[in-house]
Amino acid sequence: MSLLVVGSVAFDSIKTPFGQVDQALGGSATYFSTSASYYTDVKLVAVVGEDFPEAELDELRGRGIDLEGLVRQPGATFRWKGEYGLDLNDARTLDTQLNVFEHFKPVLPDAYRDSAYVFLGNIHPALQLQVLDQIRAPKLVAADTMNFWINGEPALLREVLSRIDMLFVNDAEARALTGEPNIVKAAQKIKAMGPSRVMIKRGEFGALLFDRDQFFFAPAYPLEDVFDPTGAGDSFGGGFMGYVARQDDLSPRTLCQATVIGAVMASYCVERFSLERLRQLGPHLIEKRYHQFRALTDFAALSPLST
C-alpha cells in the first residue's frame, strides 16, 4: 500500500569521534523514504533548493520513491551542522540554515491524498496539520516531533495529537509532553491525548511500542562500529511504516515485526555516514539482521521453574 512521508531533505555536515562529512545528503524524509523503499512505494513531500543535485533525485526515483510532491524552490537547500561526542546519544547542533525550508508549505498532489499510510516527519505542527487537512481516508497516520515543538507550540501539537493514530518520540520527549517521569504512564497519557499507539525510541537502548492493548520491546542491535547516529530514528520510522504499509495490516503481530524491521534499518543506518549504508541493503542483508535480532532476544518458552 502507498506510504506518504512529509519532512525535510537536507545537507548535513557531521563530526563524530570516528570521522566527519561535509554537506552529505540528509534530512528526515530522505532517511525515512530510503529506509521504507525496501518495503513499499513511497510518496515524498518536501522542498529542496536550486543547489540540490539532479543525480540525488534520480537516486531516490530509482528506489521507487515518487517525487511529484518534492518541490524545488529558489534559494539553498536546508543545511544542518552537528557534532557527536563519544556517547553518540546526543547531537550538538553547531549551525542550522533553514533556507528554502523556512517558507515550506506542504502541498499534496492529488494522487497523494488517498495514501493509506502517512508519516508526518518532525516539522512544525502547523505544517503537520496542513498535511492532515489534505489527506482523505488514511489507515494509519503517524507523526514524529521533538522538544522544540513540545515546548514552543504546545497548543498546535495537541491538535496534531488529537488527529493522529500513532506518535514516535524518545523518552525525554514523552516525559516533556506529559510531565510524567514513568515511561509506561507517560505513554498512557499520550494515548489519552489522541494516538492509540505510541512508539518510544530509546536510541542505543532500543524501542518500546505501546500498541492498543499491549506493549512490545525491540532492542537496538549491539554494534561494534557505530559511525554516525544521524538518521537512525528516521530510518527506524521508515522501516516500521514501510513494513506496515507493505503488509497492509495493523495486527499486533505485524506491528511487532515492524518494530524489529525498524530496528534493523536503524542498525544499518548508523554503520556509515549519511545514507551510504542504508542505500546498499537488500532482502538478504535485511533478513540476516532480522534473524540476528531474533537470536539476540529469543529465549526458550519452557517454564523456568518446571524444567
By CB under 8 A, residue 304 contacts its own copies: yes
Grid coordinates representing 13?
A: 555536515
What is the nearest approach in angstroms of its own copies to the Cβ of residue 257?
5
Residue listed under C-alpha cell 536546508: 78
CA distance 141 to 143: 7
By CB under 8 A, residue 217 contacts its own copies: yes
CA distance 301 to 307: 11
Which residue in the set 116, 226, 270, 275 belongs to the binding site for its own copies (CB under 8 A)?
226
CA distances from 84 to 10, 93, 231, 293 (A): 18, 9, 13, 26
By CB under 8 A, residue 214 contacts its own copies: yes
Backbone φ, ψ for residue 301 (5° rounding):
-80, -10
Which residue in the set 96, 151, 182, 280 belongs to the binding site for its own copies (CB under 8 A)?
182
For residues 78 and 117, which CB has a smaller minimum distance to its own copies in the complex?
Answer: 117
Site map (CB under 8 A) of its own copies, residues 272-301, x = contact = -----------x--xx--x---xxxxxxxx
Helical pair 28-36 and 232-247, crossing angle rounded to 10 deg: 40
For residues 74 and 179, which CB has a smaller minimum distance to its own copies in the complex?
Answer: 179
The residue type of 152 is: G
Site map (CB under 8 A) of its own copies, residues 106-145, x = contact = ----------------------------------------
Site map (CB under 8 A) of its own copies, residues 36-55, x = contact = ---x----------------
Q: Report DSSP state, residue 278.
A: G
Point out which span in 48-56, 91-99, 128-136, 201-209 binds its own copies (CB under 8 A).
Answer: 201-209
CA distance 75 to 73: 6
How many CA atoms lie within 13 Å of 131's alpha carbon, on the beta-carbon side?
31
Which residue in the set 54, 55, 74, 86 belongs to the binding site for its own copies (CB under 8 A)?
86
